[in-house]
Amino acid sequence: MITKLSVNINKIATLRNSRGHNNPNVVKTAMDCELFGADGITVHPRPDERHITYKDVYDLKKVLTSEFNIEGNPIEDKFVQLVLDNKPAQVTLVPDAMNQLTSNHGWDIIKNANLLSSFVCLFKKHNIRVSIFVDPIEEQIQAAKDIQTDRIELYTEQYAKDYLVDPAKAIAQYKSCALAADRLGIGINAGHDLDLHNLAFLKKEIPSLLEVSIGHALIADAIYLGLENTIQLYKRQLSTL
């Protein structure tokens, strides 16, 4: 099974915004990521537009040729409109609070079943694949099936932390959720704090992984290794050869 690498370019926008001009150019960087081997580009516009702006999303949509993944909380009408206007390959629903620094929990799908199910239905009607960001809890995987999402994105921050201490223990819960998702016919994505150390093991233990979206560590590595080399190194972690 091929696992796609979607590069999250939020950090490029953060760097650009720190000076108020257009350097680095977010659109050019995204196109270069594609050229260097990225299978997709992920953006996670926040309501305050502190990194990726809404305008960036429209600009990116015009030029990207790989899978475009837009992440965010659908309780924001503005976000829903942005997704419907741009029709990405995938929308990832994330339960962000307004001023959250970064995503720090998945959905409680059981509690939010009605809300999520209505958005799954809406986006699917527009031929947009839907992925739901979840913690690795097995009951949530069954709930994801009940609301008919195409995919889940496993929130991997805990895995990344625990991997440093005991990789086998770190992966255990993720593995059983992945097996449940496989059984139920739900596609599996993963993201948050994945890096060159913990990625290959994740892929080895969850061979049905369809996509990882990686931002922070990949962009940080690119400072030392260069963007093209870094993307190739991440892709190599995902290869099964």
From 13, 94, 188, 227, residue interacting with ligand PXP (rule: CB under 6 A):
94
Task: List the catalytic residue out of 34, 44, 67, 153.
Answer: 44
Q: To the nearest 10°, report the CA torsion of 150, 167, 219, 225.
A: -130
User: Which CA distances in Å does 52 have to 16, 19, 39, 159?
Assistant: 10, 14, 19, 26
Residue 2: C-alpha distances to residues 20, 48, 78 (Å): 39, 35, 34
Task: Tell me how many residues contact ligand PXP (CB under 6 A).
Answer: 19
| Spacing of C-alpha 202 from chain mean position | 15
Distance CA 154, CA 132 (A): 8
Q: Give min distance, CB of 104 to ligand PXP, in A.
A: 9
Name 36's Cβ contacts closer than 8 Å, sequence gap at least 6. 227, 228, 231, 232
216 is catalytic: no
Any catalytic annotation for residue 197?
no
Site map 144..183 versus ligand PXP, x via CB under 6 A: ---------x------------------------------
Q: How far is the CB of 51 from ligand PXP (least distance, A)?
A: 9
221 neighbors 200 (Cβ within 8 angstroms): no
Is 133 among the residues that bind ligand PXP (CB under 6 A)?
yes
Residue 118 C-beta: closest distance to ligand PXP, Å? 20
| Residue 126 known to be catalytic | no
What is the distance between the alpha carbons of residues 156 and 201, in angstroms, rounded to a whole number?
12
**Cβ proximity to ligand PXP, 40 vs 215, nearer residue:** 215
Residue with smaller CB distance to ligand PXP, 147 or 194? 194
Please give the Cα distance from 209 to 205 (Å, whole number): 9
Span 184-223, contacts to ligand PXP by CB under 6 A: 191-194, 213-217
Between 171 and 217, name the residue whose CB sits nearer to ligand PXP. 217
Given the rule CB under 6 A, which residues bind ligand PXP?
8, 10, 44, 71, 92, 94, 102-103, 133, 153, 191-194, 213-217
Tell me the catalytic residues.
Answer: 44, 71, 192
